[in-house]
Amino acid sequence: MKARWARWTGAAIAAAWVAAALYFANRALPQGLRLHSAPQIVPADSVTFLADITGADAYGHGFSSHAIFDSMLRSIGQARSLVVLDCHWCTDRQRAAPDAIAALSPMGAQLTAALLARKAALPSLQVLVIADPVNGLYGSAPPPQFAQLRAAGIAVVGADLTRLRDRNVLYSPLWRALFQWWSPGEGGGGWLPNPYSDAGPPLTLRAWAQLATLKSANRRVLIADDGRGSLLAYTGSVQPALAYSTDTVTALSVSGPAVVPLLRSELDLARAFGWTGTLVAPAAPATRLAAATVLRFQWLGAGAIRDELLDHIGATGRGDRIDIASESLSDRALIAALLAASRREVTVRLILDPHKSSSLWSSANQVVGSELIAASDGRIRLAWYRTHSERFGAALVLIHGPGPAWLLSGSAALTRRDLGDYDSTLDAALSGPAEAAPLGAAQQFFDTLWNDRGPPGIEYTADADTWTDPSQLRYWTYRFMELVGMSRT
C-alpha cells in the first residue's frame, strides 16, 4: 500500500510539474510585448544607423567610441514633453574590468544625472523609466539612482518578469511554486555571492532563485520628443552601465510619426508591469515624404523578430547575400534557415563574439560556428570579433537580393531566448535602396569589421578556426540546454 501511494504521489507531482511548465511556457503574453507594427513609409533621412566600435592593437593599446550614448544624452537634454527609457542594465554597480583596453565610463550615473537635470529644468517634463529588476539585484539592493529619480517626480517601473513566459522548463515550476511568493524585500539580508560585483552587496536566496529563471526585460529603448513637437526613438544593443561602456554596439535612431507604435507598446508594457500613470504624447506632425529616398519601416518585438527574419532569409536565392553581426547565435530555426540558404548558393557571412572566457551555459557560439561551417561545407563564412575584456554586442542583419536591401537591428541576439517570445526584446526593420543612408552605413560598418579597415595596426576580426570548437560533447550539451531553456543566451 505504501509503495502504491508513493507511486501515485510521484505521478501526481510529475503531472503537476509538467502541466505548470507547459502552461507558463505558453501563457498569454503581456500587452505590447510582441510588437509587430504595420509597415510605414518613411523618408530615409528620418532613420540613422549608429555604431560604437572598440578595438586594440597587438600591444593592447585600445580605443572606444560612445557616439550612441552621447546622442541619447543630447536627446534627453533637448526633450520638452516626454522621455521614456526602457533599459536592461542602467546602473554602474557591476564588476569593473581591470584589464579593459579603454577607460570605462560611468554611463549609469551620467544617464541619471541627465534625467534629473532635465526634469529640474522642466518640472512638467513627463519621464518614465522601465528597468529590469537586475538593477536592484532582484530586491537584494535597490539602486540609489532609482530613489533619486523617484524623489524628483520621475516614474520608475520595475519590469515584472513573472508576467513573461517561462523558458527554463526544468526549473521554473519550482520557482513558481516556492520562490515567486517570497517578498523581494527592500535590500539587505543577503548572504549569497554576487555574480555581478566582487565588492557586493550579497544576494538573497530569493534573488538567486529569480536569477535562475533566466528571464529579462531587454528592450534597450529611449523615446523622447525633439523639442519641436516630433518624436525621436533609439533602439539598439547599448547598455548604459559602467561594465558595458566599452562594448562594440549598434543602434538605429528613428524620428517622426513612425515612433508612435513603439511609444504605445512601451506604455502598454509599463501598465502590464504595474504602472498606473498617464503620459500624453505630443501631436505627431504629418509624415514628410518629399525626400528623394523613402524606406519601408516597422517595429518588431520578441517572436515577431524571428518571424520576419525567417521570412526574409527564406526568400533569398542564388547570388543573394546575408551579412550578420551578433553577440550570440544559437536559435535552431535560424541555424536551419542559414544552412538552407547556403545550399541555395546564398552568400552568408557571420561576425560573432567568441565568448572566449564563457562557459557553454553562457554561450554556444564556438560549437555553433563549427556546426555551420561543417554542415555547409564551408559555404558559410565566419569571423570572430577580437574582444578583450568587453563584448561584441552588435545586433545587425543585412540581406541583399535583386530587390530592396533589408536591415534588421535592435537589442535582440539571435537566440531562442531573445527570439522566442520569452524576453522583452525589440528590433527595427527597414528596407529600401542599398545606397540609402542607413542601409549604406550599416553595410559599411559590417564591411569595416569584416575587412579589418581600422586604424593602422588594428585587426577587428579573426579567422573562423581561431575559436571554433568541434567537440561533440559540448555540441550535444548545448542542444539539450537550448531545448529545455537552461542556457543563459
Domain-wise residue ranges, the chain: 32-272, 294-484
Over 247-283, what HEC string results? CEEEEEEEECHHHHHHHHHHHHHHHHCCCCCCCCCCC
> For residue 284, what pLDDT is reported?
63
> For residue 380, what pLDDT is reported?
98
How far is it, in rounded angstroms, from Cα 474 to Cα 301? 31
> For residue 348, what pLDDT is reported?
98
Query: Per-residue confidence at 282, pLDDT binned at 50, 70, 90?
Result: confident
Q: Which of 55, 101, 467, 408 is nearest to 252 (CA)?
A: 408
* Residue 184, amino acid: P
Query: Per-residue confidence at 362, pLDDT binned at 50, 70, 90?
Result: low
Q: Is the pLDDT of residue 359 over 60?
A: no
Residues 103-146 have pLDDT tens digits of: 889 999 999 999 999 999 999 999 999 999 999 999 999 999 99
How many Cβ atoms sit within 10 Å of the Cβ of residue 40? Answer: 19
How far is it, in rounded angstroms, from Cα 333 to Cα 335? 5
Please list the residues that pair with 298 across neighbouring strands.
Answer: 429
Fold of 32-272: Endonuclease; Chain A (3.30.870)
For residues 313, 295, 261 and 423, what is the CA-based torsion angle, rounded to 10 degrees? 30
Please list the residues that pair with 299 across neighbouring strands.
Answer: 428
SS3 for 244?
Answer: helix
Q: Which of 249, 206, 191 is nearest to 70 (CA)?
A: 249
Q: Which of 376, 396, 413, 408 is nearest to 449 (CA)?
A: 396
How far is it, in rounded angstroms, from Cα 372 to Cα 37? 32
Q: Is the pLDDT of residue 320 over 80?
A: yes
> For residue 232, what pLDDT is reported?
97
Identify the architecture of domain 294-484 in CATH: 2-Layer Sandwich (3.30)
How far is it, in rounded angstroms, from Cα 125 to Cα 145? 19
SS3 for 291?
Answer: coil
How many Cβ atoms sit within 10 Å of the Cβ of residue 376? Answer: 18
Residues 3-38 have pLDDT tens digits of: 777 778 778 888 888 998 999 999 999 999 999 999
Mean pLDDT (the chain, rounded): 92
> For residue 103, what pLDDT is reported?
84
Question: Which region holds residue 378: left if phi is over 0, alpha if psi is between -120 and 50, else beta?
Answer: left
Asked, colleague to colleague, whether 32-272 and 294-484 share their fold, the answer is yes
* Residue 298, amino acid: Q
Q: Are 428 and 286 in contact (CB under 8 A)?
A: no
Q: What is the DSSP letter of 237?
A: S
Q: Is the pLDDT of residue 94 over 90?
A: no
> For residue 290, what pLDDT is reported?
60
Q: Is the pLDDT of residue 360 over 80?
A: no
Q: Is the pLDDT of residue 97 over 80?
A: no
Residues 174-232 have pLDDT tens digits of: 999 988 888 776 667 788 998 887 777 899 999 999 999 999 999 999 999 999 989 99
Q: Is the pLDDT of residue 439 over 70?
A: yes
What does pTM read for this prediction?
0.94
Residues 28-77 have pLDDT tens digits of: 999 999 999 999 999 999 999 999 999 888 777 788 889 999 999 999 99
For strand 249-255 and strand 294-301, is the pairing parallel, antiparallel, or unpaired? unpaired
What is the rounded average pLDDT of the residues 417-435?
96
The rounded percent of the chain whose pLDDT value lies above 70 is 94
